[in-house]
Structure formats: structure tokens, C-alpha cells
Structure 1
Amino acid sequence: MRIVGVAGTKNTGKTTLVTRIITELRERGFHVGTVKHAHGGLDVEGRDTWQHKKAGAELVVGTGNETLFNLNEGLELEEILNIMKYIKNLDFVVLEGFKHSPYVKIATSDFLTPEDDSSTILKTVDVMRLDDHDVVSLVDLIEERSFGIIQRLDCKKCGFESCQEFRTAKISGAAGANVQCVTDSSDVLLKVDDSFIPMNPFVKNLVKKVTLGMVESLRTEEFGAEDFKKIELMIKNEDDR
């Protein structure tokens, strides 16, 4: 799952650019998700879900043709991205806002101060002047330079000495489009309390094989799960005495 941001000042076409990037990525056959940063609340005052939250519900779920989870607290971007990776098999996530995220981004205006890190800005564009050819070229650049969640393992499996060196090489174009973090996959995810814990390829493969072997020895067919595609295991490390 690769990540790209669209950032800029207010009323500079961020949402317009996000939708055009999504459309182009979808036309290339990719599965795409989005995350929007909002300074205020996301729920509409007076709606049923808003009233549930106002009454004191900590987690509100609305479901019908769509499902909306409304958690009564803000989450860090890394937590959100890991949850998205767990829920849905996505190729790209497009961020709207998140000016200071460590991921590559397209700017719709000059929004950085002299003290800010400008290295993540791939290009600054005037959204109102972009034609279809410009968007294609922009998504070509995104495909080449974007990368997934920074694992901070420094496992060197990508060919670089550290995750930071890998990140720098991807942003600058020194690493090709096919060079990606091998530990950033959704086949095995570990969450301890409120933190997703990255695992190197050896540990991840070990956990997967042991867990699959254990489940395959159970009588899953009696419960209608003989052709399982995903295993979820939750262990509470609590003293209930």
C-alpha cells in the first residue's frame, strides 16, 4: 500500500486534485483509499449518529449501503493507515491535508515555512491549469516515487541501510518504482494495545506459518470456515483474578 499526499492552503483545489488522482489511479487498475484531515468535527450536527455521540457513545457505527465508524477521539495518521491496511487491500492511499506527514506529496500552493522539510514535495501545481495530460504525468511521478508505511525496522531487505535511507531514495527518484519495503504488507499484522508493531520478514513468516498450522488442525468446517481467507486472533494479557 503506497501513500501520497495532496497539501496546500485553503481554497487551492486540494479536493479537486485528489479526485483527479483517484480517477487516474482507478483507470490504471489500482485500488484506492483516502484520508482527509479536518480541523473540526466530521459528523453533521443533528443527524442520528451525531445524537448518539452527543448522548455519550464512544464508538458509533452507521451501516446500510455504506458503513461509517465514528470514534469519539482523533487517531494518529500511522494508526489510521494501519487500520486501513487491515480492513481493505489497497494499492494507494491519497491523503488530503497532513502537510507535515513523512510521505510524498503534491502541493497546491506554497504552504511551508523556512523551517519546514520541503523534501517530500514532489511538485507544486496550479490545479485550475492542469489538463488531463498533466494529471497522467503527475500520477506517473506518484507511481515512481511513492512508498508505504515507514516501518522503522532498518532490516535492509529493500537494499538500503536504513528505512530513512530508503525513504530519501524514493523521494529523490534514486530508487525505482519497483523498489518497495518488503515488510510493509497486510498478510500479517500485529497490534499490541494501541500500537501496530512492525515485524521483520522472518518473524512475520514464522507467525503466519505457526498460526495457519494451528488453525488447519482445528475442525473449522463444523463452523462454516473450512475455506478461510483471513485469521484474526486476539489475546488479552490481563489478570482477571
Structure 2
Amino acid sequence: MKIFGIVGWSGSGKTELLIKLLPELKSRGFRVSTMKHTHHNFDIDKPGKDSYRHRQAGAEEVLIASGGRWALVHELREEPEPDMESLIEQMTPVDLLLIEGFKRNRHPKLEVTRPSSTGEDMLAICDDTIVAVASNETVDGVQVPVLDLNDVGQIADFIIRFTGIVPSVGTLRVEAAE
């Protein structure tokens, strides 16, 4: 399973890019999963629901299943947050795992940046794991390819070439040479 990250400061457009990349890569025959890191607490079930009540009563894990999906919720309680590699081991292998966040980890990443709106310095300036930058603004001072944030096809092409992924389902869409 190939791993590729999408990173950037809050408000840069990481999630918007990711939700556009997914159908683009799927249409080319790739099996793709995602992992998202957040610094905020989150909940996937609702107060009052049985699964929520199970967790509140002390269950270490609760598996929720239906005919359309299943989810496993693991309560950390006082345990430390697991590292990215441990979490990846929990996932079913696919052609490509796109990871949003985990910007300090050492996997290859594309930085989404909009310097005028985030007001933050670019990560690519001092992070050698960032292999490309995507922006809808002019970007100077980086030694990696700069891609058009609005050209999802170009970004997908870059990820495919960089990771060397081969589709496990369907066929890879080949653009006609001009």
C-alpha cells in the first residue's frame, strides 16, 4: 500500500483538495482510503444511541455494524495517542492511502498553501518530506514542483507518478498524446 500525505495550515484547502482527488483517482481505477488527523476531540456516534452508551459505560472498543458500513471506535482513556504507523496497521490495504494531517511524520507529502489567507510560513521551506506544493497563488522560495491547486488532474498525475501506484481495479486512464 502506497502512502501519500496532504498537509497545510488550517484553512489552506486540504480537505477540499482531498474530496476532489478521491473521485479522480477512483475514476482511474485506484482503490483509495483516507486517514485524517485532528487536534480536536471528535465523536462518531450520538449521545443517547446504544453505541454511545456502551462507550460511556466503559467499553474499551465498540464495533457498530449495518448492511452498509461498520465502524470500530477505540477509546484511548488514559493511553497515549497511537502513532501514524500503528494506525495504518489497522487499515485494510488499498492501492493508495491518502493521509490528511500528520504533518510532522516522515512520509511524502504535498503541501496545500494559500499564504495570503493563512498568514503562515510554508512548511516546504524547512520540511524535506514535502515533495510538491499545490496553491492557487504564486509560490516562490521552494525547491519542489508547484502545482495548480485548481487542477485536480495534474495533482493526481503527480501523485501517481511519485508513488508509482498501479490500479488494482479497472484500467488506468491514459491521456492521448498530442
- TM-score norm. by structure 1 comes to 0.53
CA drift at 1:81: 1.3
The verdict on how the C-alpha distance between 1:47 and 1:39 changes in structure 2, with shifts beyond 3 A counting, is farther
Same amino acid, percent of matched pairs: 29
What SS does structure 1 have at the residue aligned with 2:29? coil
The verdict on how the C-alpha distance between 1:113 and 1:21 changes in structure 2, with shifts beyond 3 A counting, is closer
Count of aligned positions? 141
Show the counterpart of 1:202: none
CA drift at 1:45: 5.0
Letter in structure 2 aligned against 1:7: V
Letter in structure 2 aligned against 1:11: G
Show the counterpart of 2:16: 16
Cα distance in 2 for partners of 1:119, 1:91 equals: 21
1:20-59 equivalent positions in 2, closer than 5 A: 20-43=20-43, 44=45, 46-48=47-49, 49-59=51-61
Contact 1:33 1:90 in 2 (8 A): yes
CA drift at 1:113: 8.8
The one of 124, 127, 140 aligned to 2:134: 124
1:82-231 equivalent positions in 2, closer than 5 A: 82-84=89-91, 88-109=92-113, 110-112=121-123, 116-126=126-136, 130-131=149-150, 134-146=151-163, 177=164
- Hey, which of these two has a bigger chunk of strand by percent? 2
1:66 and 2:72 correspond: no
Cα distance in 1 for partners of 2:52, 2:26 equals: 32
Gapped runs of 5+ residues in structure 1? 147-176, 179-241
The verdict on how the C-alpha distance between 1:32 and 1:113 changes in structure 2, with shifts beyond 3 A counting, is closer
The verdict on how the C-alpha distance between 1:26 and 1:45 changes in structure 2, with shifts beyond 3 A counting, is same
Show the counterpart of 2:84: 77
Q: Please identify the structure whose Cα radius of gyration is greater.
A: 1
What SS does structure 1 have at the residue aligned with 2:98? strand
Gapped runs of 5+ residues in structure 2? 114-120, 138-147, 166-178
The verdict on how the C-alpha distance between 1:138 and 1:61 changes in structure 2, with shifts beyond 3 A counting, is same
The verdict on how the C-alpha distance between 1:106 and 1:113 changes in structure 2, with shifts beyond 3 A counting, is closer
- TM-score norm. by structure 2 comes to 0.69
Letter in structure 2 aligned against 1:79: S
Cα distance in 2 for partners of 1:136, 1:94 equals: 16
The verdict on how the C-alpha distance between 1:94 and 1:113 changes in structure 2, with shifts beyond 3 A counting, is closer
Q: Deviations over 1:107-165 (max 9, x none)?
A: 12245397x523424223239x743xx2111111111223xxxxxxxxxxxxxxxxxxx
Q: Deviations over 1:27-82 (max 9, x none)?
A: 11000100000112331551523332121110011111210100012321101112
Point out 4+ residue stretches in structure 1 off by more than 4 angstroms: none
Q: Which has the higher contact order (CA 8 A, sep 6+)?
A: 2
Letter in structure 1 aligned against 2:74: L
What SS does structure 2 have at the residue aligned with 1:6? strand
